[in-house]
Amino acid sequence: MADLVSDVMVASLMIGGALMSLAAAVGLLRFPDLMARMHAATKPQVLGLLFFLLAIAVQQRSWQVLPVLLVAWIFQILTVPVSAHMVGRAGYRTKHLRKDLLSIDELDEVVERAATKRRESDPAGQ
Amino acid sequence: MTRQRIPFITELPLIIWLVIVWGALWQDFSLGNLIFGALIAFAVANLFYLPPVELSGRFNPLYAAGFAGRFLYKLVVASFEVFWLSLRYGPRLKNAVVAVKLRSPSDLLVTATGHAISLIPGSLVVEVDRSTSTLYLHCLNVSTPAEADRVRRDVRRTEEWLIRVMGTREDLAILRTEERFEKERAAGT
Amino acid sequence: MTIVVWIVGAILGVAALCAVYRVARGPSILDRVLALDVLLAIIGGALAVDMAVNGHLDNLVPLVAISVIGFIGSVTVARFVTERK
């Protein structure tokens, strides 16, 4: 009985994790610009890996493995936003962002203001 | 090479974390292993010098548990939402870059808030203005100012939770004044 | 259990194909890096499924290593793209 319950849990957790991977891939395929793809690509991975790690924990059925699985997940939590931010910033700065898809852009005016200020203080250019 | 001495107490959270990682990797939390891990952690923390993180010295485990629960809930909901959006709208999606002004001037809190926001699908930190602690977020499926406002409120609520978990006393004071203000305004209308 | 493994394998395979398509198509280098990141995550997921199905923990270190490689790779490329202009 306990075996059946844990098997069902492992199975559903694995399918959930796989679905999250699929979500990332489908988003990668269908979203129109880099930034939107980024949302789809980086985030579902976090939940997906959590599902997979939980599946391992349920399958092993011992408290010993829990810390190492948690550490693996925390490392992912710490690294994913950093790489997402770096790629996103690079995308914004190199104009990979499609402005026509944005309804509001509150960073644009700030960037413009900073650019004009720099031009005024340094007329010779770079 | 000159470097400023870090007091042991600010180093302690880092060392504890490193010891936990050590124990987890060996899958062995016996005393001997932990002491050996602590020695290595101490050596690593002193050999590979990092600028100290300024902690506030406060930590509320109750709110931390609440924050973790809220975070996991939002993570699950938003992950499925992004999946749904990619299937339903795909290429016809409107996004926005929204500026969110945070309350706290502390680097740690701004970083933690940005991290939590980035991990929850649908929002992503594009740029940070450290001098005014403003986050510029790229948000999926935001097309009206009202929706942008909702994002802003949500981010500020996340920050509120984090302040309650580990903010400084000044941040807490700001929070309290804000609450009083809200209450008065609610009573006034 | 075997059926579940097949289903999970199929989903991961389809996801990997989508990611590979984006790597080949991707208009910019950042798109490709992003897609490679997703591909690495899918490989990590496959390693985790192997562990869960066969009941061992041997793949845990490769799993962490893969996510670190993805992290370092995308940060490096993003830095170079930002600095270049």
- Give pLDDT tens digits for B117-171: 888 767 788 888 878 888 888 888 777 788 888 888 888 888 888 888 887 777 7
Chain A to chain B Cβ contacts (< 8 Å): 141
User: Reduced to 3 states, what is the DSSP secondary structure of residue A32?
Assistant: coil
* Cβ separation C35–A10 shorter than 8 A: no
* Cβ separation A21–C70 shorter than 8 A: no
* Cβ separation C48–A55 shorter than 8 A: yes
Rounded percentage of chain C residues whose pLDDT exceeds 90? 12
Distance from CA of C17 to the nearest CA of A (A): 8
Q: Does residue B157 share a domain with residue B66?
A: yes
Residue B20 is part of which domain span? 8-47
- Give pLDDT tens digits for B55-76: 766 778 888 899 899 988 888 8
Residue of C16, C38, C57 lying closest to A65 (CB–CB): C57
pLDDT at A63 over 50: yes
**Bridge partners of residue B95, in order along the sequence:** A102
Rounded percentage of chain A residues whose pLDDT exceeds 90? 0
Going by pLDDT thresholds of 50, 70 and 90, the confidence category of residue B1 is: very low
Let me know if B80 is exposed, middle or buried by CB neighbors in 10 A (0-12, 13-18, 19+): middle
A21 vs B3, more confident: A21
- Give pLDDT tens digits for C9-31: 999 999 999 889 888 887 788 88
Q: What is the per-residue pLDDT for A99?
A: 65
Domain ranges across chain A = 2-121
- Give pLDDT tens digits for B12-51: 878 888 888 888 888 778 888 888 888 988 888 888 777 7
* Cβ proximity of B66 and A6 under 8 Å: no
Tell me the C-alpha distance between C77 and A96, whole Å.
Answer: 14
Taking CA atoms, what residue in A is nearest to C73?
A: A83
Give the torsion sign (CA, A113, A114, A117, A118). negative
Number of alpha carbons in the 13 Å side-chain half-sphere of residue A5:
3
Tell me the C-alpha distance between B103 and B118, whole Å.
Answer: 18
- Give pLDDT tens digits for A85-121: 888 888 777 766 666 666 677 777 676 676 666 666 6
Q: What is the per-residue pLDDT for B6?
A: 64
**Nearest CA-CA partner of A42 in B73, C30, B159:** C30
Which amino acid type is present at position B153? R
Q: Does residue B73 share a domain with residue B18?
A: no
Q: Does residue B167 share a domain with residue B117?
A: yes
Domain membership flag for residue B85: yes
Average pLDDT over residues A60-89: 84
**Bridge partners of residue A105, in order along the sequence:** B97
Number of alpha carbons in the 13 Å side-chain half-sphere of residue B20:
15
Complete edge-to-edge strand list for the sheet that includes strand B134-139: A102-105, B95-101, B134-139, B123-129
pLDDT at A122 over 80: no
Inform me whether the C-beta atom of residue B153 falls under 8 Å from chain A C-beta atoms: no
Rounded percentage of chain A residues whose pLDDT exceeds 70? 76
Q: What is the per-residue pLDDT for C12?
A: 92
Inform me whether the C-beta atom of residue A64 falls under 8 Å from chain C C-beta atoms: no
Tell me the C-alpha distance between C80 and C75, whole Å.
Answer: 9
Q: What is the per-residue pLDDT for B21?
A: 86
Q: What is the per-residue pLDDT for C10?
A: 92
Distance from CA of A103 to the nearest CA of C (A): 22
pLDDT at C72 over 50: yes
Average pLDDT over residues B170-176: 81
Q: What is the DSSP string of A57-115?
A: HHHH--GGGHHHHHHHHHHHHHHHHHHHHHHHHHHHHTT-S-GGGEEEEHHHHHHHHHH
Domain membership flag for residue B56: no
Q: Does residue B77 share a domain with residue B144?
A: yes
Tell me the C-alpha distance between C17 and C19, whole Å.
Answer: 5
Q: Does residue B143 share a domain with residue B108?
A: yes
Q: What is the mean pLDDT of chain B?
A: 81
Inform me whether the C-beta atom of residue B118 falls under 8 Å from chain A C-beta atoms: yes
Show which of residues 2-31 on chain A sit within 8 Å of chain C, judged by CB atoms: 7, 10-11, 13-15, 17-19, 21-22, 24-26, 28-29
Domain membership flag for residue B41: yes
Q: Does residue B113 share a domain with residue B90?
A: yes
Helix (H) or strand (E) holding C1: none
Residue of A25, A56, A96 lying closest to C30 (CB–CB): A96
pLDDT at A124 over 60: no
Helix (H) or strand (E) holding A126: none
Residue linked to tokens 């900073």: A114
Residue C59 is part of which domain span? 2-84
B37-41, B51-55, C38-42: which has the minimum mean pLDDT?
B51-55
Going by pLDDT thresholds of 50, 70 and 90, the confidence category of residue C84 is: low
* Cβ proximity of C68 and A74 under 8 Å: no
Tell me the C-alpha distance between A24 and B62, whole Å.
Answer: 33
Total tally of structural domains belonging to chain C: 1
Q: Does residue B101 share a domain with residue B18?
A: no
Q: What is the per-residue pLDDT for A121?
A: 65
Total tally of structural domains belonging to chain B: 2
- Print the SS3 string covering chain B: CCCCCCCHHHHHHHHHHHHHHHHHHHCCCCHHHHHHHHHHHHHHHHHCCCCCCCCCCCCCHHHHHHHHHHHHHHHHHHHHHHHHHHHHCCCCCCEEEEEEECCCCCHHHHHHHHHHHHHCCCEEEEEEECCCCEEEEEECCCCCHHHHHHHHHHHHHHHHHHHHHHCCHHHHHHHHHHHHHHHHHHHHC
Neighbouring chains of B at 3+ CB pairs within 8 Å?
A
Contacts of C60 in chain A (CB under 8 A): 68-69, 72
Q: What is the per-residue pLDDT for B5?
A: 62
- Give pLDDT tens digits for B73-98: 888 888 888 888 888 876 777 777 88
Q: What is the per-residue pLDDT for B77?
A: 86
Going by pLDDT thresholds of 50, 70 and 90, the confidence category of residue A123 is: low
Query: Mutating which of C1, C23, C34, C81 best tests the A interface, going by the most A Cβ atoms within 10 A?
Result: C34
* Cβ proximity of B167 and B58 under 8 Å: yes
Q: Does residue B71 share a domain with residue B30?
A: no
Q: What is the per-residue pLDDT for A126?
A: 41
Among chain A, residues having any CB pair with chain B shorter than 8 Å are 19-20, 22-23, 26-27, 30-32, 35-36, 38-40, 42-44, 46-47, 64-65, 67-68, 70-71, 77-78, 80-81, 84-85, 88-89, 92, 101-108, 110
Average pLDDT over residues C75-79: 86
* Cβ proximity of A105 and B96 under 8 Å: yes
Tell me the C-alpha distance between C85 and C82, whole Å.
Answer: 7
Q: What is the per-residue pLDDT for C68?
A: 85
Query: Mutating which of B22, B29, B97 best tests the A interface, going by the most A Cβ atoms within 10 A?
Result: B97
User: What ipTM describes this predicted complex?
Assistant: 0.84
Q: What is the per-residue pLDDT for B56?
A: 67
Q: What is the DSSP letter of A1?
A: -
Distance from CA of A3 to the nearest CA of B (A): 25
Q: What is the per-residue pLDDT for A125?
A: 44
Tell me the C-alpha distance between B169 and B106, whole Å.
Answer: 12
